Amino acid sequence: MKKNDEVSAVLYDISRLLELEGEEAYRIRAYRKASQSVSSLEGDIEEYYKEGRLRDIPGVGPSIGSVIEELLRTGRSGLLETLKKETPLELYEVIEVPGIGRKTALKVHRALGVATIEEFRDAARSHRIRRIKGLGDKVEKKILDALDRHNKALSETRIPVFRASAIAAEIMGYFKDCEGLAQADVAGSLRRRAPMIGDIDIVAAAHDPAEVIDCFCNMPITRIVKDRGEHHAEITTRYRVDAKLKIVSRDNYGLRLALNTGSKAHLRELEKRAMARGDRLSKEGFYKGGEEKVKFPREEGLYRALGLEYIPPELREGRGEVDAAAKGTLPDLITVEDIRGDLHVHTEWSDGSSSIQDMAMAARAKGYEYVAICDHSKSLHIANGLSIERLRDQMAEIDRLNDTLENFTILKGSEVDIMPDGSLDLPDDVLEDLDIVVGSVHTQLRQDADVVTRRVINALENEHLTILAHPTSRILGRREPTAIDIDRVIEAAKENNKVLEVNAYPDRLDLSDEHVKKAMDAGVMVSIDTDSHGIAELDYMEFGVNNARRGWATKARVLNTLSTGALLEYIERY
């Protein structure tokens, strides 16, 4: 298999150098695709070569085929070597930094001979970049800021929860075939459904611990076994995320699961609670009256012993959940089953990939009563935003489709851009003909706090707007939220009876859990919507609901738990 990786790496390097040179995009993409294809190849590429089947590999044609052939025959690539003479490969790392483009990087490289990220940083710090013709102090500062942000991003080793969930599901799938296993659960921050996950914690009980450890260390996704003991193991997966397994006793499984689920702040609260009741809870276990050791096969028993309602994992963040559980005032959390429709989805009319009808059918198949088609409005050109005329056509199309549907309603909506001045991208006479208006900020994301806050509040004061979508515009791990003052936004939503979205798109989760909590505390409604751009993405709902649960959201405060009639009435009223 090593040869496959080697070939894949060479093809990838070629694609990067071609990109640096400004080669035609499709040629770059062809090499990249071939690289990907070779790396995910099941068989040995040398076998393909020997059998003359290289071109059976998807993305490999005559040209790339001969590059691979040369590589396997001589161990070298003439094309790669020629390209390397022109441009150093390290320069590619610079253009990968968001905010520094290819031409700027090349210009700096040619003027100063610098190539690595460190050299660029030095060049910017010593003000050598501002002296290059065509660049100035502003660009120099931009480069420095971009490199700083990049540095911060590199030290972030966590991954978004939806990716961690998929990896954990894969691990649990392998466990099914492990005979020595009695029981296993995901624990840690993933069980709490935190937005970003550092590593995947798994707690298991075993008939045969050695076999289970073996099983874990020999999974197909295991790349490196970092640590291995009689009752624990730690691996790095091929997704570069670590997974830890702890084998615990069956009779105290519940307590161990709770201790391994955390959070630290939550456990500290539990320990304090135990102490106040004359008991003791620690890593060693639970001691009734400080002396008698009590075991809990199930978590519920532990919480009961502490005189608490059972606290769902999503709430275990030390944000007052233990007090609430003691008083019996924990929120009755929203569940996926409570959701009756999706109020923010796209179709092929703008930048989605499915038709209106397919989105409607898929939504109905999920058991929903309604779906709101909210394609982009005219100003968002990159997303193929709808002109007023096309929007009118779409509304007519939805009317036609609704006539054919029973027990399901397609709502006419728009994800209308909130313009930099706070006005909406559609005139009132269009807005009032829509069933639902979802407003979003997509441009000018770097406005000052006061400007962007006023902008959004202005939109919230528009009588036609129903929902404010992804209120902070954050993209997990990639883009910081806008400088918006969320407290003022929540206040304005309250005053104007507007709904704030919990965008379920997995790298948005916006509102954040903390912001959802603020909205709940303020008595503001939220709507959990997927922002789907195709039928498969309707399944993102689960991540939005999990995120809302972390923010203590209850069914009563989630707009899209309403029936179609109640929903339309609600929109009409406010």
Query: Which residues of the shown chain bind DNA in the complex (CB under 7 A)?
Result: 24, 26-27, 29-31, 34, 55, 58-65, 98-105, 130, 133-140, 142, 146, 351, 376, 380-384, 420, 442-446, 473, 475, 479
Residue nearer to DNA on the CB measure, 134 or 328:
134
Alpha helix positions (H), 379-524:
388-404, 428-431, 449-460, 486-496, 513-522
What is the closest distance, in whole angstroms, from the C-beta atom of residue 87 to DNA in the complex?
15
What is the closest distance, in whole angstroms, from the C-beta atom of residue 100 to DNA in the complex?
5
> How many Å is the Cα radius of gyration of the chain?
28
What angle, 0 to 180 degrees and rounded to 10, lies between the N-to-C axes of helices 102-112 and 137-154?
110
Alpha carbon distance 240, 479 (integer Å): 22
What is the closest distance, in whole angstroms, from the C-beta atom of residue 126 to DNA in the complex?
16
What is the closest distance, in whole angstroms, from the C-beta atom of residue 407 to DNA in the complex?
30
Strands 200-206, 242-247: pairing kind = parallel
Alpha carbon distance 528, 343 (integer Å): 8
What is the closest distance, in whole angstroms, from the C-beta atom of residue 329 to DNA in the complex?
37
What is the closest distance, in whole angstroms, from the C-beta atom of residue 98 to DNA in the complex?
4
What is the closest distance, in whole angstroms, from the C-beta atom of residue 506 to DNA in the complex?
14
Beta bridge partners of 281: 286
Query: Is residue 377 classed as helix, strand or coil in its secondary structure?
Result: strand
Contacts of 125 (CB under 8 A, 6+ apart): 144
Residue nearer to DNA on the CB measure, 113 or 136:
136
What angle, 0 to 180 degrees and rounded to 10, lies between the N-to-C axes of helices 264-276 and 253-261?
130
Residue nearer to DNA on the CB measure, 58 or 289:
58
Residue nearer to DNA on the CB measure, 64 or 219:
64
Nearest to 426 by CA among 454, 387, 399, 390: 387
What is the closest distance, in whole angstroms, from the C-beta atom of residue 139 to DNA in the complex?
4
Residue nearer to DNA on the CB measure, 56 or 521:
56
Task: Count CB atoms within 10 A of the CB of residue 132.
Answer: 17
Residue nearer to DNA on the CB measure, 15 or 260:
15
Residue nearer to DNA on the CB measure, 278 or 420:
420
Tell me the residue type at 317: E
Buried b (16+ CB within 10 A) or exposed e, 447-470: beeebbbbbbbbbbebebbbbbbb
Residue nearer to DNA on the CB measure, 186 or 441:
441
Strands 436-440, 467-468: pairing kind = parallel
